[in-house]
Amino acid sequence: MTMDARKQRVLQAIVALYGLEGEPVGSSVLANYFDMAVSSATLRNEMAALTKLGLLEQPHTSAGRVPSAKGYRYYLDNLLTDDQPLDRVSRARVDAVFASLDHEPEKLAQGAARALAAISGCTAAISTPCAEDLCIAHYEVVQVGRSAAAVLAVTTAGYVRTRVARVRTGLSRENAAALAALLNRNLTFVAPVDLSPRLLAELCSQIDPELVPVISAAAAILQDSVKPHVFLGGEQYLLDWPQLDGKVGDILTLLNDEEEAAALIAPPTDRSESVLLGEDWNRRSGPVHRE
């Protein structure tokens, strides 16, 4: 059995109707969608054929049909086109929103997640870059209290990372400058994998033992620099999808695990985008979503 033009139109219509209503689509609803140009009997035959092809599923014996994961994949690969660019008004709105965002890298990602969610009406998840060659380009050490010091680091991707270290005896301005110079000489442009216990021990041996927490904070920033950070926007929109009833908690648990979420939403190395459906999602996300 092959996919002819009418089967494609029926599948396309069922995907559209199910996306709008979240309810199985019956032949009478489908006939109204086609403005009665095709009879209900013919549509039932086509729906049965699409079910045999594995592109539709029937949740209950008397219910209508819903797209299967295979059906969605066929729709995405064969029926969804990108030849409909945004209209001028929508494009202007998108451009205005993103022009107003703070372009400090992490704030940009956070703002973009919220903006995409507001524009699309869907939940958005955005990950910062994750690469093994990220490292620290510059360190600063600042006294922030009688017994605390802030270690600030700028990564090679432009992100600013901060950690506060407890220094029991306090930190003078001279000590802060000396520590920053020590860190910049030894830990800038060093890959996290090269941050060995021996290197840390050598650095700690050059300073007062009371200042060792500053070195530990700098090392923690360096190790954290390769980890992705995921920002969510529009989590409330998950509640608008009847298909996700009882699964919203699992989805939010996954998306709030930054490493798992970043791995899930990252496209393959040979493509700029990917769409996960059914078992694709399960394979990428692990046991959290296995039913």
* pLDDT at residue 19 tops 70: yes
Structural domains counted in the chain? 3
* pLDDT at residue 283 tops 80: no
125 and 141 both lie in a single domain: no
238 and 275 both lie in a single domain: yes
pLDDT digits (tens, 9 = 90+) for 68-86: 888 988 998 888 776 667 7
276 and 212 both lie in a single domain: no
Alpha-carbon torsion (8, 10, 13, 17), positive or negative: negative
Helix (H) / strand (E) element for 20: namely helix 5-21
pLDDT digits (tens, 9 = 90+) for 190-235: 988 888 999 999 999 999 999 999 999 999 999 888 777 888 999 9
186 and 216 both lie in a single domain: yes
Residue type present at position 90: S
Q: Please report which confidence band the pLDDT of residue 186 belongs to, taking 50, 70 and 90 as the band edges.
A: very high
Question: What range defines the domain where residue 272 resides?
Answer: 88-130+229-289
Question: What pLDDT score was predicted for residue 203?
Answer: 94
Q: Please report which confidence band the pLDDT of residue 270 belongs to, taking 50, 70 and 90 as the band edges.
A: low
220 and 155 both lie in a single domain: yes
On whether the CB atoms of residues 70 and 54 are closer than 8 A, the answer is yes
pLDDT digits (tens, 9 = 90+) for 111-132: 889 988 988 888 998 887 666 6
CATH number of the domain enclosing 39: 1.10.10.10
143 and 167 both lie in a single domain: yes
143 and 271 both lie in a single domain: no
Per DSSP bridges, beta strands 66-67 and 160-166 are unpaired
105 and 243 both lie in a single domain: yes
Higher confidence at residue 170 or residue 138? 138
E strand segments, the chain = 56-57, 66-67, 124-127, 136-145, 148-155, 160-166, 230-233
59 and 177 both lie in a single domain: no
Average pLDDT over residues 267-291: 59
Residues of the chain above pLDDT 90, percent: 31
pTM > 0.75: no
164 and 198 both lie in a single domain: yes
124 and 233 both lie in a single domain: yes
Q: How far apart are CA 270 and CA 267, in angstroms?
A: 8
DSSP 157-188: TS-EEEEEEE-TT---HHHHHHHHHHHHHHTT
